[in-house]
Amino acid sequence: MYKTLLILRYLRKRRIAWVSLIAVTLCTALMLVVISVMGGWLRMFRLSFHGLSGDVLVQSTSMSGFPNYDEMVQAIEALPAVGVGNAVPVIKTFGLINLNNSITEGVQVLGYPVEKIGNVNEWPQSLYRQHVAREEAVEKLADTKLKLTAEEKAYYQKLSSNKAPPSFDLVPDASRRVDKLPDGVVFPELLKAKITYLPNENLLMWHGEMSEDERNQLLVLSNDPGYHADIFALFKASDFRRVVPNVRGRDPGTWPGIILGEGVALIHKNKEGKLSGRIPELTRVPVTLTVLGIPPDGRADMTAPPPARPYWVVDDSRTKVYQYDSQTVYVPFDKLQEDLGMTAQKAEDGTVLYGPRASEIDIRIKPGFDLNKTRDEIEKACDAVVQTKFRSGTLGSFGGYAVQTWEESNRVWLHAIENEKVLVMFLFGLISIVAVFLIFCIFYMIVVEKTRDIGIIKSVGATSSGVAGIFLGYGLAIGIVGAGAGLLLAYLIVHHINELHSWLGRAFKVVIWDPQVYAFDTIPNTMDAKEVTVIVIVAILSAVLGALLPAIRAARLHPVEALRWE
């Protein structure tokens, strides 16, 4: 009983102990923040890479890709016994993109069979118009606080009810988000019935079909500064596209769709190379993509200009992985295959030399199967296809392919982050040893200062272990209170780390989290229960450890000598 009483009294009366309490708090918070950010970073990496790549990948080792992917896909999909779900061929290459006839950038180009790609990865969920906007509409409909008007409700219902699979066609959207319509705007009689402005949502809506007359009226309005340029946006994209002159002999109405990573699509770089600004009307921006096909012999044809295909932007994608969002564009698989010369190659007499090529097959594995075992089975299946199709039994000049799990495919990144996490934890762990030493020093001081009290307690019959218990309990109390406060502090920091970071940026021009380095545009802000538990327990044990030697000294004190202590 006296132990509890004395520990509580000492905690309250000995201000110096608060220093050790603060040390424990700060070290615990430090470790928790570091491990949460690093661990969260790793988790985000794993989740994003996994989400974008499928579970097992067959990847070409050369830029020219491998033929007979159709047979491979069939062979792979014939393996449901080892958990294979779907397999989808993908083309991965690099290209030059020109936006709006002004900016040209180098980008990674992914050729997706868009209707199937959702079977193997989560990429469709990154599309704004075809997924995110729908989710937002569902949320808005569910939010009773919003007080939607009937028109807004109808609009969101229309948006959320669209369950079409992802495509490279423009999603019909007869409404536009505007900055804000100037006060006093009155629409001409002809348009009044067709146009609605939703002030709460800053939405401009067009109802029904658009006639020639109406289109002309809108054109006039959009040139009137009293109105808003956004009115122009009410043109259906298809209508607009009809009036764009032919580019290189291709009718704009037949241009295929392209989906841009949001960094490519929306954001211009300013003079310092920082990202800023938006292209106001994404779907009205003509885009030209230039790619260079590499034939199996590795010699690209340099005499003819590389194919440059015009596209219409139909959507933008936000995967949250910086490399993807800032420099990847997605185009239809068959169009890219055509432009790269990866279609079936025939000899002059019309015999097929080799079939169409792909550079990658993404495979979904059902949960509960051992990825490594399945990967081996898939490799066998692919090898069997090659052996039946090629007399030599190998891909020959096409190089080869590697069958890897998603973890193996991204291991360079994942390992780097795992190692960095361990290193940072180790370094911060070293710092935390300072806290243990601080507790030791402070407790030693307290024991020396309290020597006579220890003598008194012993003279009234306390045992040596009882006296040790006071100081160990004192250390334990400081550990529990300190680690608890540290947990709270870390929780607050981690959950507001992005606000904190942007405030730091505004106030001191300090940018610690550079998305170009860390791959994600936001700092991870989740805490893992297991990691938190381990750190809190270690913090409490450290405090007890710091108190251990002073406690032993106190226990060993001779009562008479302790009483005589001056």
Rule CB under 8 A: say whether 474 interacts with another protein: no
State which residue, 5 or 219, has the beta carbon closest to another protein.
5
Q: Is the CB of residue 32 less than 8 Å from the CB of residue 532? A: yes
Instruction: Provide the mask over 316-355, with x wherever binding to another protein is found by CB under 8 A and - wherever it is not.
Output: ----------------------------------------
Query: How far apart are CB 483 and another protein at their closest, in Å?
Result: 23
Q: How many CB atoms lie within 10 A of CB 511?
A: 11
Does 460 sit near another protein (CB under 8 A)? yes
Residue range at the interface with another protein (CB under 8 A); choices 30-38, 267-275, 321-329, 455-463: 455-463
Q: Give the type of residue at 505.
A: G
Shortest reach from residue 142's CB to another protein, in Å: 52
DSSP, collapsed to helix, strand or coil, labels residue 20 as: helix
Q: Give the number of C-alpha atoms closer than 13 A to the C-alpha of residue 204, restricted to the C-beta side.
A: 23
Size, binding site for another protein by CB under 8 A: 25
| d(C-alpha 68, C-alpha 57), whole Å | 16
Choosing from 140, 284, 434, 457, the residue that interacts with another protein (CB under 8 A) is 457
Q: Is 2 in the site for another protein (CB under 8 A)?
A: yes
Paired strand residues for 328: 108
CB closer to another protein out of 371 and 456: 456
468 binds another protein (CB under 8 A): no
Stretch that binds another protein, among 231-239, 302-310, 337-345, 447-455 (CB under 8 A): 447-455
Least distance to another protein, CB of residue 22, Å: 21
Figure out which of the listed residues 6, 17, 32, 378 binds another protein, where binding follows CB under 8 A.
6
Beta carbons of 342 and 356 less than 8 angstroms apart? yes
Q: Which of 272, 461, 508, 529 binds another protein (CB under 8 A)?
A: 461
Q: Which of 113, 286, 466, 484 binds another protein (CB under 8 A)?
A: 466
Closest CB to another protein among residues 368, 461 = 461
477 interacts with another protein by CB under 8 A = no
Sequence-distant (≥ 6) Cβ neighbours of residue 539 within 8 angstroms: 24, 27, 28, 31, 432, 479, 482, 483, 486
Within 74-163, strands assigned E span: 84-99, 103-112
Closer CB to another protein, 1 or 150, in the complex: 1
CA dist list (Å): 134 to 8, 51, 59, 275? 57, 20, 33, 27
Residue 456 as a binder of another protein (CB under 8 A): the answer is yes
The residue among 399 and 466 lying less far from another protein, judged by its C-beta, is 466
* b/e burial code for range 444-478 (CB count within 10 A of at least 16 → b): bebbeebbebbbebbeeebeeeebbbbbbbbbbbb
Q: Given the DSSP bridges, would you call strands 308-317 and 84-99 parallel, antiparallel or unpaired?
A: unpaired
Q: Which of 288, 453, 532, 538 binds another protein (CB under 8 A)?
A: 453
- Measured from the CB atom, the residue of 421 and 452 that comes closer to another protein is 452
- The CB-of-462 to another protein minimum distance in angstroms stands at 5
By CB under 8 A, the residues from 502 to 561 that bind another protein are 558-560
d(CA 558, CA 562): 6
Residue nearer to another protein on the CB measure, 12 or 192: 12
Query: Rounded to the nearest whole angstrom, what is the least distance from the CB of residue 4 to another protein in the complex?
Result: 5
| 97, burial (CB in 10 Å: exposed 0-12, middle 13-18, buried 19+) | buried
Other residues' Cβ atoms within 10 Å of the Cβ of residue 302: 8
Q: Applying CB under 8 A, does 459 fall inside the site for another protein?
A: yes
Side chain identity at 256, as an amino acid letter? P
Query: By CB under 8 A, which span of 179-187, 351-359, 463-471, 520-528 interacts with another protein?
Result: 463-471
d(CA 74, CA 364): 14
Query: How far is the C-alpha of 233 from the C-alpha of 93, rounded, in Å?
Result: 33
Closest CB 21 distance from another protein, rounded Å:
17
Q: Which of 140, 452, 495, 501 binds another protein (CB under 8 A)?
A: 452
Does the footprint of another protein cover residue 16 (CB under 8 A)?
A: no
Pairing relation of β-strands 275-276 and 84-99? unpaired
Using the rule CB under 8 A, which residue among 1, 81, 186, 302 binds another protein? Answer: 1
**Selection from 216, 311, 205 nearest residue 264 by Cα:** 311
Check residue 15 for interaction with another protein (CB under 8 A).
no
Q: Does 458 bind another protein (CB under 8 A)?
A: yes
Minimum gap (Å) between residue 25 Cβ and another protein: 24
* Helical ranges in 78-186 per DSSP H: 114-117, 133-142, 150-161
**Could you give the CA distance from residue 396 to residue 387 in angstroms, rounded to a whole number?**
11
Pick the stretch among 6-14, 111-119, 320-328, 331-339 that binds another protein (CB under 8 A): 6-14
CB of 463 to another protein, least distance (A): 5
For the sheet with 203-206, list strands across it: 175-177, 203-206, 195-198
Query: Which of residues 266, 436, 462, 519 is near another protein by CB under 8 A?
Result: 462
Residues binding another protein (CB under 8 A): 1-2, 4-6, 9-10, 13, 452-453, 455-464, 466, 558-560, 563
